[in-house]
Amino acid sequence: MAGLGCARQLHNLFKQHGDLLAKLGLEEPNVIVLEGRSRIGGRVYSRSLQVQPRHRHPEFHQSRCIAEMGGMVVTGFDRGNPMNVLIRGQLGLGYHALLSTATIYDIDGNPVDAKRDRMVEDLFNECLDRVSKYKFKVPLPKIIEGNRDYIDQRRDLPSEGHQTIASVEENAAAQKQHARRFDDVEAVERQISEQSQFAPATPNLVRERETTCEGREMPAIKRFSQAHQPPNKPATMTAALKLKTLGWKLKPGVGEEQDIDLDPAASVPGTTLGSVVEDAIRQFGDLVDLSAQDFRLLNWHIANLEYSNAVNHDRLSLFGWDIDAGNEWEGKHSMIIGGYQSVPRGLMLCPTPLHVRKQMVVKKVSYGGPDGASLPGICKAHKSPVVIEFEDGSTFDADYVVNTIPLGVLKHGDVEFDPPLPQWKLGPITRLGYGVLNKIILTYRQPFWDTNRDIFGVLREPDNRFSLDQEQYAKHRGRMFQWFNVTKTTGVPCLIALMAGDAALDAEKDSNDKLIAEATSVLQSVFGAQNVPEPIEAVVTRWASDRFSRGSYSSAGPAMQLDDYDAMARPVGRHLHFAGEHTIGTHPATVHGAYLSGLRAASEIFEELVGPIKVPVPLFTPKRSVMRTTKRKLTLDEERATASNGSSGSNNANSGGNTPNDARASVRRRPEVPELRVEEHTLKQPAGRRQQPPRLDDSPYELFSEANYQRASKICEQSRRPGKGPPTPEEVRAVTSKMWRKASIEERLPYAEEASERSDKYEALVQKLLREA
Ligand SMILES: Cc1cc2nc3c(=O)[nH]c(=O)nc-3n(C[C@H](O)[C@H](O)[C@H](O)COP(=O)(O)OP(=O)(O)OC[C@H]3O[C@@H](n4cnc5c(N)ncnc54)[C@H](O)[C@@H]3O)c2cc1C
């Protein structure tokens, strides 16, 4: 993802700024992607299922049914997710928005009591609230929050920022203290075997079974799982009082004044998030009675957190485990119909194919040293600053290299760097964590689950099912603890079970038969033995054993330092750059993070070549000149429209509707030519385009204002001094708004009715699109 995103961005920048390159006497550089595998997409892999149904669901338009092996969930399209631009704006891919209501089933197959479920979740969140006080003090930006009104009006506040400088300095000091607490320690890697597939011979048909339980809102979603939303608020009540307010009954003899103390656990050398959370659970257990079911529920939440981080919480930094908190996108989590891999494919192919060479397994990167000095060893024969050596013995010369090789592969030492990477780069490679999440993907002839639900949870028990010992829960809690119904996006009735934490590593060793038998028995416990057949096809991922990823994604290892992700991103010398999910501390371990890191690396290289990209100052044109530009554009547009009508001979300026208003509308509506080309191209792509419903949800005032625009404009004109020119749209809008305020209820009514009718229509259209998705 990072590599293709970077290549596409560089390709575009070079095309867009050809004049700058020419001025510097440079030819347009070649951008080449070198990929070790025989496919593109890396950890975004929508693998074709072997069993393709003869009669595909009429609403599934894709050419093949797939299993999502890796990245799968788009974590909300709003608040700046770049995937929004790619998926909805440029590639126009169909997607399914996930429902956040889900049911958690207990070991006996019954849904967990909603009240108890909520109480335990609150208790777990209280644990995280309390450990959050040990988090790294991330430096605050100089401006924390601007004045929303000023931002909307694109104006600067005269004195912004000064209030937060003191807190910035305070944080910087705290951060240095944390950084000194650790030395580099870390080393873990797993055995090798292939990602595998299993297809039992005997298919089975089953009767669909209704799930009647209500379901719960899944815990606030973090990254692509549903982990705890970091609270960042200090505990203000004693632990006992807090538990009481959450509905827990205190043990006899426990007073409301009783608190818990996590400082001793947090100050033990080598402390981790897990060790302190477990201490918190133990201390909470002294205040209230926790049953075995409570432990199962608590450990379900821990498994969920381990899913987010692809590692046992005992191997997460207490100080930095949620370093990206606060950067989440907004909007519903979604999955791409026909597979997430359409996104890297789109990056590779649209609007023109990039140069991608597959099966080029990199063995060595010789980059001339951090200062770009002459190349040692084999590279003396080459003139270029970087030489890449492949496993088959061939070499490739480059001016610049962006290394997007996953952190797991770097940790494993599969790629040699000449000269070796400096210590400031090796430190973060060692300290950052890199764990594994695995999936068991099961397809069936018929669904036997509630097809209207997207997610359900299943509690897991330790070897001793009545155990009240927290330690015993770690091994099994992540085994098939969360299930996704992905029928709508894969094209066949399909469930995906997640294997998180220790269970993910165990899955790499277990046989397919064992895993599938266990998954079937978990499903039978929930849906009834008679209803759950053997799957017709099953796929088990083994990401730790995959030589091109050696795990799933990065995390905050126990010894991580605050700026480790930033150090991973920094280039070594001028010619060796880095990108990938492990190089972006604001959005690590995600597809969008990988993509953003690719954009960042592209701008670094572009700047190396042609200097900084000029950002217009001021970034936003002041109001008056915006108006003048718009006016100029309108005039130009009118002139063009007149000219083209005149030349075709079919119309003249007065009869053909080329009034200033029409011209204004056409300026607003007409997409730029490149956009049109992209749209035209993407419409032809196999993934199929889902059209956005036209916006029909105007407010009554907007409708009123549109209908009365001319009238208001005339009023404005009449009150203007002669020679002052026509009124600006702002001035007209000020009048329409005055007219609206003065309008009686009767006058407003028709607009209110029309707005409500439009809103219903819009809602119906959205629902229809959602159903189709
Ligand atoms: C099971 C799983 C579930 C996930 N779920 C989600 C999710 O729901 N949402 C989300 O946002 N993210 C998810 N992620 C994380 C996301 O997929 C990754 O963060 C992202 O795809 C990483 O992109 P990248 O470009 O950094 O690395 P990659 O996509 O791994 O790209 C690195 C490339 O380098 C190549 N390579 C490796 N070694 C060599 C070599 N020696 N020579 C040549 N090429 C080499 C690889 O083949 C690969 O193509 C998930 C990941 C996994 C594994």
pLDDT digits (tens, 9 = 90+) for 739-749: 888 888 888 88
Q: What is the pLDDT of residue 187?
A: 32
Q: Evaluate: CB of 537 within 6 angstroms of ligand 1.
A: no
Q: What is the pLDDT of residue 662?
A: 39
Measured in Å, residue 580 CA sits from the centre of ligand 1 at 8
Atom of ligand 1 nearest to the CA of 436: 53
Measured in Å, residue 543 CA sits from the centre of ligand 1 at 10
Q: What is the pLDDT of residue 721?
A: 72
Atom of ligand 1 nearest to the CA of 547: 38
pLDDT digits (tens, 9 = 90+) for 34-56: 999 999 999 999 999 998 877 77
Atom 29 (ligand 1) nearest CA = 42
Which residue ranges of the chain lie beneath pLDDT 70? 138-236, 369-382, 621-697, 723, 772-773
| Tokens linked to 495 | 């469930």
Q: Evaluate: CB of 553 within 6 angstroms of ligand 1.
A: yes
CA 635 to chain CA centroid, nearest Å: 43
Atom of ligand 1 nearest to the CA of 344: 29
Q: Evaluate: CB of 475 within 6 angstroms of ligand 1.
A: no
Give the number of other Cβ atoms within 10 Å of residue 98's Cβ.
23
| Tokens linked to 730 | 């702002």
Q: What is the pLDDT of residue 685?
A: 56
Q: Evaluate: CB of 71 within 6 angstroms of ligand 1.
A: yes
Measured in Å, residue 124 CA sits from the centre of ligand 1 at 31
- Domain residue spans in the chain? 615-692, 697-773
Q: Evaluate: CB of 76 within 6 angstroms of ligand 1.
A: no
Closest by CA position to 489, among listed 38, 41, 91, 49: 49
Q: What is the pLDDT of residue 233?
A: 52
pLDDT digits (tens, 9 = 90+) for 99-132: 988 899 999 999 999 999 999 999 999 999 999 9
Instruction: Tell me how far CA of residue 52 lies from CA of 95, 113, 230, 336, 448, in angstroms.
Output: 20, 39, 42, 18, 19
Q: What is the pLDDT of residue 763?
A: 77
Atom 17 (ligand 1) nearest CA = 71
Atom 5 (ligand 1) nearest CA = 71
Q: What is the pLDDT of residue 615?
A: 77
Q: What is the pLDDT of residue 269?
A: 94
Q: Evaluate: CB of 83 within 6 angstroms of ligand 1.
A: no
Q: What string of DSSP letters covers 437-496?
A: -EEEEEE-SS--S-TT-SEEEE----SSTT---GGGGHHHHTEEEEEEE-HHHHSSSEEE
Q: What is the pLDDT of residue 773?
A: 60
Question: CA-based angle 44:47:50, to the nearest 5?
Answer: 175
Instruction: Burial-class residue 149 by CB neighbours within 10 Å (0-12, 13-18, 19+).
Output: exposed
Q: Evaluate: CB of 305 within 6 angstroms of ligand 1.
A: no
pLDDT digits (tens, 9 = 90+) for 176-234: 444 433 333 333 333 233 465 554 333 333 322 333 345 666 654 455 654 444 444 55
Q: What does pLDDT average to over the chain?
A: 82
595 and 71 Cβ atoms separated by less than 8 Å: no
Regarding the domain delimited by 697-773, which CATH topology (the fold level of the hierarchy) does it fall under? DNA Binding (I), subunit A (1.10.30)
What are 101's strand-pairing partners? 217
Q: What is the pLDDT of residue 719?
A: 77
Measured in Å, residue 549 CA sits from the centre of ligand 1 at 7
Q: Evaluate: CB of 296 within 6 angstroms of ligand 1.
A: no
Q: What is the pLDDT of residue 745?
A: 82
Which residue type occupies 378? I
Q: What is the pLDDT of residue 224?
A: 60
Q: What is the pLDDT of residue 645?
A: 46
3-state DSSP assignment of residue 655: coil
CA 590 – CA 393 distance, rounded (Å): 33
Q: What is the pLDDT of residue 676?
A: 59
Measured in Å, residue 405 CA sits from the centre of ligand 1 at 9
Measured in Å, residue 596 CA sits from the centre of ligand 1 at 14
Q: What is the pLDDT of residue 718?
A: 81
Q: What is the pLDDT of residue 243?
A: 96
Measured in Å, residue 407 CA sits from the centre of ligand 1 at 10
Q: What is the pLDDT of residue 234?
A: 53
Exposure on the CB side of residue 105, measured as CA atoms within 13 A:
23
